[in-house]
Amino acid sequence: MTDLARLPSWLQPLARAAVDVRPEQLSRFLPPAEGGRESAVLMLFGEGGRGGWADADVLLITRAHDMRSHAGQVAFPGGAVDPGDDGVVGAALREAVEETGLDPAGVEVFGTLPALFLPVSDFVVTPVLAWWREPSPVSAVDPAEVASVHRVRLADLLDPGNRFRVSHPSGYVGAAFGVDGLLVWGFTAGLLDRLLRLAGWEVPWDQQRVEAMPDDVLRLLEREMGSR
């Protein structure tokens, strides 16, 4: 993995925070003692043309709307660990290439976070942290899996006007972001919410602001539950 000193200065607070972070600081859903399918996601942080904090971004995808699991949701690139992968790091990079077409030669992994649990899909997910040292063009490789690919600016994620909590009729209330016409919620939003705070990047926002889950998202969730 990359020496932390090689990272851009704006990314180093996150790299340092990741070293000692505990799983319970990231999610209340911790891996079971047994079971769960091993998987990984790539949290890839890059810079735009000018470089530095003002242009920093993170790579996100929107999953295809007709998928059986997590349809239409904004997520980090990733998926299950296959037998031929070099562990969770290899799986995260492979999945990112398959989903977005990025060139892995320009990606430097600088850490992993503790594994977390996604009860709805029975995945034990390890977030892999990486710096996009040499960004390459990205787009949805297979429309059957990925509807769109986005480089979302961290400044937009941190904007208090783009932050709120989203509620589901079931009683679920969780972190959410509204950026670039995207609703980021669930596992992805929860992980971003906690990492922004741990890295010391967070600015005050109205944590009492709660918005109802949009109808189109509810319909996708109802369809997914009905297919199980």
For residues 157-185, average pLDDT:
96
pLDDT confidence of residue 202? 94
Question: Total structural domains in the chain?
Answer: 1
For the purposes of burial, counting CB atoms within 10 Å of the CB of 83, is it exposed (0-12), middle (13-18) or buried (19 or more)?
Answer: exposed
Domain extent, residue 43, equals: 4-226
Cα dist. 143→42, 61, 65, 95, 99 in Å?
19, 11, 10, 14, 9
Separation CA 190–CA 99 (nearest Å):
22
For residues 114-118, average pLDDT:
96
pLDDT confidence of residue 6? 86
pLDDT of 131 over the 60 cut: yes
pLDDT confidence of residue 77? 98
Tokens representing 33 are: 């003692």
CATH number at residue 41: 3.90.79.10
pLDDT of 228 over the 60 cut: no
Nearest 5°: CA angle at 117, between 62 and 204?
Answer: 65
User: Model's pTM, two decimal places?
Assistant: 0.95
Confidence of residue 140 (pLDDT cuts 50, 70, 90): very high
pLDDT confidence of residue 20? 93
Which of 10-24, 36-50, 102-116, 185-199 comes out lowest in average pLDDT? Answer: 36-50
- Residue 184: which residues within 8 A CB-CB, separation 6 or more? 60, 74, 152, 157, 176, 177, 178, 192
Which of 20-24, 60-64, 216-220 comes out lowest in average pLDDT? Answer: 216-220
Task: Report which of residues 110 and 5 the model is more confident about.
Answer: 110
For residues 1-22, average pLDDT:
89
Tens of pLDDT, residue by residue over 20-59, are 999 999 999 999 998 899 999 999 999 865 666 778 999 9
Percentages helix, strand, coil for the chain, rounded to the nearest 5?
Answer: 30, 30, 40
Percent of the chain with pLDDT over 90: 81
Separation CA 166–CA 172 (nearest Å):
8
Confidence of residue 110 (pLDDT cuts 50, 70, 90): very high
Per the CB < 8 A criterion, the answer to whether 173 and 179 are in contact is no
Tens of pLDDT, residue by residue over 77-90, are 999 999 999 999 99
